[in-house]
Amino acid sequence: MGGGLAGYPVPALVRELIRRLGDDPERAGLRRTPERVDESLRFLTRGYASSPREVIGDALFDEHHHNMVIVKDIEMYSLCEHHILPFFGKVHIAYIPDGQILGLSKMARLVELYARRLQVQERLTEQIAESFWDVVKPQGVGVVVEAYHLCMMMRGVQKQNSFTITSAMRGAFLEDARTRDEFLRLCEADRIPVG
């Protein structure tokens, strides 16, 4: 979003949008809204400013662990590129290391990197899997995203209880049905509280 869109500062565009929607951008409740929207959009699309390699940094560690590693229920918030309305949910990522393991928090940071862009859920799922595959180089990676879309809940068909599930698999998760089934089964399993 840089310094503005097509030569216009974002607050000026928001002021014009408020006018065209039929309200007064100078009334008390809206006076600072253009600047707040600018700040909000910059925050919600900050994923464009980084790359998977930058996010992962030096958090790859030599380790000869060759069994599945799963991080479940990573919270995800994004903006639908079709209506610029939020979609939100959970991401589950699993991988089988091949000589290196990734610091666990970096899995959540990869989700954040791609979620903080204008998105569609299908692409988001693929981007997380592909970047993990390219940078970590595991034997396999699986990603499942479950999300509610406000563009479907607030407008259009207005169906509040529907959600969308997408998946992307690479390597062992794509080639070995047992590995894929184990991952998907563990995604669905209820968590048992620790302690």
Q: Which of 35, 100, 130, 151 is catalytic?
A: 151
Q: Which of 26, 82, 122, 160 is catalytic?
A: 82
Q: 143 with 129: CB under 8 angstroms?
A: yes
Q: 54 with 106: CB under 8 angstroms?
A: no
Q: Which amino acid is at 69?
A: V
CA distance 51 to 116: 12
| Catalytic site includes residue 80 | yes
| Burial (Cβ within 10 Å: 0-12, 13-18, ≥19) of residue 93 | buried
Q: Which of 81, 122, 160, 175 is catalytic?
A: 81
| Catalytic site includes residue 100 | no
CA distance 34 to 18: 9
Q: Which of 119, 139, 149, 187 is catalytic?
A: 149
The sign of the torsion formed by the CA atoms of 117, 121, 122, 127 equals positive
Identify the three-state secondary structure at position 131: helix
Q: Which amino acid is at 62?
A: D
Q: Which of 83, 100, 130, 182 is catalytic?
A: 83
Identify the three-state secondary structure at position 1: coil
| Catalytic site includes residue 121 | yes
- A 10 A CB-CB count for 161 gives 6
| Catalytic site includes residue 119 | no
| Catalytic site includes residue 149 | yes
Q: Which of 121, 126, 127, 187 is catalytic?
A: 121
* Active site amino acids: 80-83, 121, 149, 151
